[in-house]
């Protein structure tokens, strides 16, 4: 399997050179490099930060994600299904004899 993409943590020197944390595993040849500021020392990314980063990276690769309308529709359908199942269980409990099955 050929590796076509790799993420490597690095430090940008004052002279503009990158110090990579490890040697790239990509084959020699032209590459595209995007430099993004990493988390500052002592700061911790939260879940919301990670989700925003993932969403931005997916959008940049052409995956727009799901709309708020789609997500709400799925949630509403799930809630309706759960409510219907609860009604079925309640009806079954009311129909069961008090002494057993």
Q: Mind listing the pLDDT tens digit for each residue in 20-51?
A: 998 998 888 999 988 888 866 666 788 998 99
In angstroms, how far is the first alpha carbon of the chain from the final one?
Answer: 57
Q: Can you give the pLDDT at residue 82?
A: 98
- Is residue 25 within 8 A of residue 39, CB to CB? The reply is no
What average pLDDT does the structure give for the chain?
Answer: 86
83 pLDDT band (50/70/90 cuts)?
very high
Closest CA to 8 of 100, 58, 17, 19: 19
Q: Using alpha carbons, list the distances in angstroms from residue 26 to 6, 8, 32, 35, 77.
A: 7, 11, 12, 17, 45
Q: Can you give the pLDDT at residue 95?
A: 84
What average pLDDT does this structure show over 7-22? 88
């Amino acid at each position: 399997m050929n590796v076509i993409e790799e993420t490597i943590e690095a430090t940008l020197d004052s002279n503009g050179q990158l110090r990579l944390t490890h040697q790239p595993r990509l084959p020699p040849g032209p590459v595209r490099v995007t430099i993004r500021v990493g988390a500052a020392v002592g700061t911790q990314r939260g879940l919301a930060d990670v989700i925003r980063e993932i969403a931005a990276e997916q959008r940049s690769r052409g995956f727009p994600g799901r709309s708020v309308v789609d997500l709400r529709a799925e949630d509403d359908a799930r809630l309706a299904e759960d409510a219907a199942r609860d009604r079925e269980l309640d009806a079954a409990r009311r129909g069961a004899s008090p002494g057993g099955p």
